Amino acid sequence: MSSSNRAWQIASPGKLILADAGPRPPPGPHQVLVRNRAVSLNYRDLLCLDHSPNYPIKHKADLVPCLDGAGEIEAVGEGSQWKVGDRVIIQPNTWLTGTDPRNFKLNETIGAGEIDGTLQQYMLWNDDRVFKAPDSMTLEEACTLYTAGVTAWYSLKYGEPKLQAGGKILTQGTGGVSCYAIQIAAASGATVVATSSSDEKLEIAKELGAKHLINYRKTPDWSTDVLKATNSEGVDVVVEVVGGAGLLDSVKAARFGGRISVIGILSGDDTPVALTQPLLYGAKTLQACFGAGSKEMAIELSAFAEKHQLHPPIAQVFEFDEADKAMQALRTLSGVGKIVIRV
C-alpha cells in the first residue's frame, strides 16, 4: 500500500491538476490522520478555483481546494479522543462554539488562502476540528452536512421567529441548502411551502417533506400563492437563496413579524427592490446567513439528522480521478441536491 497522499491542486485559474502531495504525516498529540472518503462541492469552491475577485482572499500556489469532507480516522496521536475507524466530518474553520458569527474568520477556513482543503486523500487534523458523522448517513451524504446542512440549520434555528412545531417555512428550489431546510423543517413538525421552476423537482420536494408546492414559472406572483397556502398569514421563516428582484416576493410571503434568512444570490440580479415599506409595516426581519456555522451547531444537526434519519439528496457522484469534471459540472448544476466526489 502506498504511503503517499494524492491531492488535486489549483495549477492556474480554472485549472486543476492531480499531484502527489508527499507522504502521509503521522499525527502528533491530540491529532488525527483522516482518510477522506467523500467531498461535497460548493459554489465557493468555484470562486477559489477561478481566483474570482468575488472571493476576498488571495490563494497560495498549488492550493488544494474544497472545504466539505467526510472520512474515517486512519491513525491517532497521543491523547486523542478519537479511535481508528471512527467516521467523522471535517470542521473546516475555527468557529467551534456559540452562535455569534463574529467568531467566524474567513482567512482561517480551509480550501482557500493559505490553507489546503479536503480534495485530497489524507488530512492531518486537530482533534477538535472533526465531529461525528451520523450513523444513518453514508459518507457521501455526510460530507454535505457542514456547508449545506449547517447553513439551513442556522437559518431556521437561530433568529426570531425560529423553527418550531406547527410553524410555517418557505424554501426555494432544490439545491443543497433548500433540501436540508425542507427535511429539517418537516422533521420538526413545521409546514413547508416549497417553490421551484420545475414540477418534477417539486415532486422531489414533496418526497422530502414539503406540503405546499408552487411552480414560480407558472405563477410569477408566487408570494400570493404562499399567502393562499397559509390562510393569508404568511410563513414564519423564508430560507431565501435566490436574491435579486425576487427578494420582494420573499418579504411579502413572510407573516407579520416574520424573518427572511438571506443565504444566496443565485439569480445574479442586482436590481434594487422596494423593501422598506413591506419590511417596516410588516415588522419583518431581513437576516443575512453567510453559509457557515460553528462546530457546536454542526454537532446539533448531526444528532438531529441521526435521530430523524435524514438523507440529503445527491445530484451526482464523481470518482476522485474525475474531480476536474465534477467542478465543471458544478458550473451548470441542474440536478437536485449536491455534487459529491468519492475519494
CB 98 within 8 A of CB 52: no
Q: Are residues 54 and 182 in the same domain?
A: no
Residue owning grid cell 434594487: 272
User: Is the Cβ–Cβ distance between 71 and 32 less than 8 Å?
Assistant: no
Mean pLDDT in runs of 10 for the chain (343 residues)?
A: 84 96 94 98 95 90 97 98 98 95 92 97 97 98 97 95 97 95 98 96 97 95 96 97 84 96 68 76 88 92 98 97 96 92 98
Looking at residue 1, its pLDDT comes to 45
Range of the domain at 28: 4-145+312-342
Residues found in the chain: 343
Whether residues 336 and 233 fall in one domain: no
DSSP string over 175-189: SHHHHHHHHHHHHTT
Query: Do residues 46 and 72 both lie within one domain?
Result: yes
pLDDT of residue 2: 57
- β-strand 87-90 against 168-172: which pairing, if any? unpaired
pLDDT in the model for residue 26? 94
- CATH number of the domain that 261 lies in? 3.40.50.720
**Residue 105 in domain:** yes
The CATH number of whichever domain residue 338 belongs to comes to 3.90.180.10
Q: Cβ-count burial of 127 within 10 angstroms (0-12 exposed, 13-18 middle, 19+ buried)?
A: middle
Return the CA Rg of the chain.
20
Residue 61 forms part of a structural domain = yes
Q: Please give the pLDDT value at position 77.
A: 98
- Structural domain total, the chain: 2
The predicted pLDDT at position 266 comes to: 55
65 and 51 share one domain: yes
At 271 the pLDDT is 59
Phi, psi of 195 (to 5 degrees): -115, 150
Are 122 and 245 in the same domain? Answer: no
Domain-embedded: residue 306:
no
Judged on CB neighbours under 10 Å (0-12, 13-18, 19+), 118 is buried
Give the per-residue pLDDT at 276.
79
Residue 301 lies in a domain: no
CA separation for the pair 103, 96 (Å, rounded)? 8
d(CA 235, CA 163) in angstroms, rounded, equals 11
**Is the separation of the CB atoms in 194 and 216 below 8 Å?**
no
Residues 77 and 180 in one domain: no
Residues 168, 130 share a domain: no
Cell for 164? 418550531
Does 99 share its domain with 218? no
Whether residue 127 sits in one domain with residue 9: yes
Q: What is the full DSSP assignment across 112-167? A: BTTB--S-BSEEEEEGGGEEEPPTTS-HHHHTTIIIIIIHHHHHHHSSSS---TT-
Could you check whether the bond before residue 161 is cis, i.e. omega within 30 degrees of 0?
Answer: yes
**Residue 192 covered by a domain:** yes
By C-alpha distance, which of 1, 65, 63 is closest to 39?
65
On whether residue 71 sits in a domain, the answer given is yes
Assess if residue 303 is contained within a domain: no
First to last CA, the chain: 16
Is 307 within the bounds of a domain?
no
- Let me know whether 17 and 107 are in one domain: yes
